[in-house]
Amino acid sequence: MSDDLSAVIRPIAQAQGLPNAHYTDPDTFAEEREALLFSQWAGLATASDVPEPGDAKPIEFLGTPLLLIRDREGQVRVFHNICRHRGMILVSEPRKIEGAIRCPYHSWCYSTQGKLVATPHVGGPGMNTHDGIDRTTLGLIEVPSHIWRDVVFINMDGTAAPFAEVHADLIARWSDFDTDLHHGGGDSTFTLEVKTNWKLAVENYCESYHLPWVHPGLNSYSRLEDHYNIEAPGLYSGQGSILYRQIRAEDGTVFPDFPGLPEKWQTAAEYVAVYPNVLLGVQKDHAFAIILEPRGIEETAEHIHLYYATPHVDEDLRRANAALWKTVFEEDIFVVEGMQKGRHAPGFDGGRFSPAMDGPTHCFHAWAADRLRARRPMAAE
Amino acid sequence: MSDLDHRLLSAHAGADPAVLAGLYQEAAHATGGDAGAFYLTHAFVFALEAGLPDAALIEADLRALGRV
């Protein structure tokens, strides 16, 4: 199958989009898992998923069983969810770890920091040490992780530069919002199961071109001409609006603003896809994070979380806000599922971009193509 | 089957590690020797799992027996 990525990285006016194989072919999916997800800082979950010390949540990420846990000192960590003895799954459902993580098979025990603290009967009945078992070398396998804006980013293969270094540009861009985020709780999180490749969800999110057609309800207060493209090659892309209008209850109630924001954010908002799989939005009175969980080549779960400036906000307004965003994100489903089906048409050549409107999407495609090309033998193209 | 055996089986069914730690300590004290070390090992594991302060004391007992 032809997979010429050189066309993807041309200037946008001449570029083609990623070929169909990148949305339909199992081998390409496996290649992208390594090049675009495991070798980068990918979004896994939120720190709010494990709010208290000892909270543990098993999560499968692209086939790898992981354990998200907040250790006794309050630090969020990610481990391979397996015992170093026989590879048994350690934690099979979300729960509180009161003391140690005990493997349900032979009861090897680990601290919440991942240290192997007990190996019962390893030297024979009632003998709990053996010269051949060095516990200091058999702790849980930890995956490098970093929390930013409550999102737990992980670097599965351990090759990425530190998160703060990789994303210094975006962290600086949004430094005005470097303040406490308060998750809205159970009614401010929802998951959408979508029959699409994860990349199409990124591509749709980061451009504003589709807004007047797919989200006509936004036209009244968020017109296309009020948007601008955001493009940071190799890092992130998205869209901004110069006319953000906050949600308001009939009695005039609004959410409190994040503290200390410069005047420009009174009417501005930005929506950015942090490559590979995290979609973020910032506005003066609330923010959101969407973690795209690739469950298969053509299957993605979108985990949406809404955040506020204070621990408690008006309950009815909070619910209305979640319902509003859910409507918006659901309006996108037919688009990403339709594009996914379209990728099975042999005649589709990756498509052409609007040089004026599709810059953020092309930026993402070029990022993907660059990373794939860097890992391929020269003769492959 | 002894009363302690019954209580241990029942505790395993209930999967409460704090209860299991206490019962295995009781079994260890009732037997001694290799069997006692076996039960004390179980008491240690369940005390660790439950996060009981007793875990450190049980570990010290096992260490004194040359078992850890």
Distance (Å, whole) CA B5 – CA A337? 59
**Final residue in a domain of this structure, among A147, A182, A217:** A147
CA distance B47 to B31: 19
Structural domain containing residue A59: 49-147
In a domain, A154, yes or no: no
DSSP structure class, residue A98: S
For residues A68 and A187, give the distance between their C-alpha atoms in angstroms, rounded to a whole number.
22
Residue A155 domain-assigned (yes or no): no
d(CA A295, CA A28): 15
Domain of A126, CATH number, reads 2.102.10.10
Q: Using CA atoms, how far apart are residues B12 and A232, in angstroms rounded to an integer?
A: 57
Exposure string over A296-330, b if 16+ CB within 10 A, otherwise e: ebbebebbbbbbbbeeebbeebbeebbeebeeebe
Provide the strand spans (E) within A82-141.
95-96, 101-102, 109-110, 116-118
Residue contact B45–A99, C-beta within 8 A: no
Task: Give a yes or no: residue A380 inside a domain.
Answer: no
Q: Which of A116, A147, A178 is the last residue of a domain?
A: A147
Cα gap A61→A289, rounded to integer Å: 18
**Count of residues for chain A?**
381
* Same domain (yes/no): A220, A350: yes
What are the CA-CA distances from residue B11 to residues A109, A229, A342, B20, B57 (Å)? 19, 62, 58, 6, 22
Q: Write the CATH number for A357.
A: 3.90.380.10
Same domain? A315 vs A184? yes
Partner residue facing B41 (CB), from A99, A100, A120: A120
- Domain final residue, candidates A147, A179, A194: A147
Residue A157 is assigned to a structural domain of this protein? no
Measured CA to CA in angstroms, residue A169 lies from A42, A52, A232, A274 at distances of 17, 31, 8, 11
The model's pTM is 0.95
Give the model confidence (pLDDT) of B44-63 as tens digits.
999 999 999 999 999 999 99
Q: At what angle do helices A198-205 and A333-342 cross, to 10 degrees?
A: 130
Strand order in the sheet with A76-80: A76-80, A64-70, A55-61, A95-96
ipTM of the complex: 0.95
Mutation site, A103, A107, A119, interface B, largest B CB count within 10 A? A107
**Do residue A219 and residue A356 come from a single domain?**
yes
Asked whether A315 and A184 are in contact (CB, 8 A), the reply is no
Contact A108, A116 (CB under 8 A): yes
pLDDT for res A209: 85
How many CB atoms are closer than 10 A to CB B11? 19
- Residue A46: DSSP 8-state: E
Q: Are residues A241 and A135 in the same domain?
A: no
Provide the pLDDT for residue A2: 61
Same domain, A218 and A362: yes
Residue B48 has its nearest CB partner, among A118, A125, A126, at A118
When pLDDT is cut at 50, 70 and 90, the band that residue B1 belongs to is low
Same domain for A345 and A205: yes
- A-chain CB neighbours of B49 within 8 Å are 98-100, 102, 109
Residue with tokens 């209008």: A245
B→A interface, C-beta within 8 Å: 17, 34-38, 40-42, 44-52, 55, 62, 67-68
Which among A71, A119, A128, A133 is the top mutation candidate for probing chain B, defined by the most B β-carbons within 10 Å of its own β-carbon? A128
At position B59, the amino acid (one-letter code) is E
Q: Say yes or no: A180 and A312 in one domain.
A: yes
Assess whether A55 and A17 both reside in one domain: no
pLDDT in tens, chain A (381 residues): 467 899 999 999 999 999 999 999 999 999 999 999 999 999 999 999 999 999 999 999 999 999 999 999 999 999 999 999 999 999 999 999 999 999 999 999 999 999 999 999 999 999 999 999 999 999 999 999 999 999 999 999 999 999 999 999 999 999 999 999 999 999 999 999 999 999 999 999 998 888 888 888 776 666 778 889 999 999 999 999 998 989 999 999 999 999 999 999 999 999 999 999 999 999 999 999 999 999 999 999 999 999 999 999 999 999 999 999 999 999 999 999 999 999 999 999 999 999 999 999 999 999 999 999 999 987 555
Claim to verify: residue A107 and residue A185 sit in the same structural domain: no
Whether A162 is covered by a domain: the verdict is: no
- Beta partners for residue A227, in sequence order: A241
Picking from B41, B46, B51, the nearest residue to A126 by CB comes out as: B41
Q: Are residues A9 and A139 in the same domain?
A: no
How many domains are there within chain A? Answer: 2
Same domain? For A269 and A357 the reply is: yes
Same domain, A127 and A36: no
Domain ranges in chain B? 3-64
